[in-house]
Amino acid sequence: MNAQVVTANRLADGQVVYFTSQGGWSETIADGAVAHDKDSATALLLRAERAVAEQVVVEPYLIQVTHKDDGDILPVRYREAIRALGPSVRPDIVTDRSGRSITTHFGNS
């Protein structure tokens, strides 16, 4: 089974965020806490869901990612790649502070 992280949109500004191992939320997917099996994924989502009641995020959910050896995390589905890296048609708008742009995910097509 694939590795998973929890993502959501921040309540105040809608920004895409990822649940970190410290229990906070980061705008960068590479900071996301990774669950490697079903039980830890369920537990991770449960922890993350507390932030809903605390008005931090809305609608957290699990996404599948590939966890690279260098620690980098990339979403499996293209929908999530676009959420992580911003609109593919506006590479000037970088929503990931790692500085990566969505075009690196899709190539230049």
Partner 1 sequence: MYRYDEFDRTLVEERVAQFRDQVSRRLSGELSEDEFKPLRLMNGVYLQLHAYMLRVAIPYGTLSSRQMRRLAHVARRYDRGYGHFTTRQNIQYNWPSLAELPDLLMDLADVEMHAIQTSGNCIRNVTADHFAGAAADEIEDPRIYAEIVRQWSSLHPEFSFLPRKFKIAVTGAPSDRAAIAVHDIGLRMVRNDAGEIGFEVMVGGGQGRTPMIAKTVRAFLPKQYLLSYLEAILRVYNQFGRRDNMFKARIKILVHEIGIEKFSGLVEEEWEQVRDELVDLPPGELERIRAYFRPPPFDPLPDVDQGFEAAKTATPAFAAWARSNLFPHRQPGYAIVNLSLKPVGGVPGDVSAEQMDAIADLADQYSFGEIRVTHEQNLILPHVRQEDLFALWQALEAQGLATANIGLVSDIIACPGMDYCALATARSIPVAQRISTRFAETERAHDIGDLKIKISGCINSCGHHHVGHIGILGVDKKGEEFYQITLGGDASEHAAIGGLIGPAFASDEVVDAVETIVETYLANRINGEHFLDTYRRVGPSPFKEKLYAAH
Between strands 25-26 and 57-67, the pairing is: unpaired
Q: C-beta of 78: minimal distance to partner 1 in Å?
A: 7
C-alpha 58/C-alpha 77 separation (Å) is 21
Q: Is residue 54 a contact point for partner 1 (CB under 8 A)?
A: yes
Binding to partner 1 by residue 61, rule CB under 8 A? no
Residue 85, C-beta contacts closer than 8 angstroms, at least 6 positions apart = 94, 95, 96, 100, 101, 102, 104, 105
The kind and range of the H/E element at 66 are strand 57-67
Query: Is 23 one of the binding residues for partner 1 (CB under 8 A)?
Result: no
Q: Does 69 bind partner 1 (CB under 8 A)?
A: no
> Considering only residues 6, 16, 30, 35, which one is a binding residue for partner 1 as defined by CB under 8 A?
16
Whichever of 39 and 85 has its CB closer to partner 1, that residue is: 85
Distance from C-alpha of 33 to C-alpha of 106, rounded to nearest angstrom? 24
Options 14, 23, 24, 91; binder of partner 1; rule CB under 8 A: 14
Query: Residue 95 has which token pair?
Result: 């929503």
Contact set with partner 1 (CB under 8 A): 9, 11-16, 52-55, 58-59, 76-79, 82-83, 86-90, 93, 95, 109
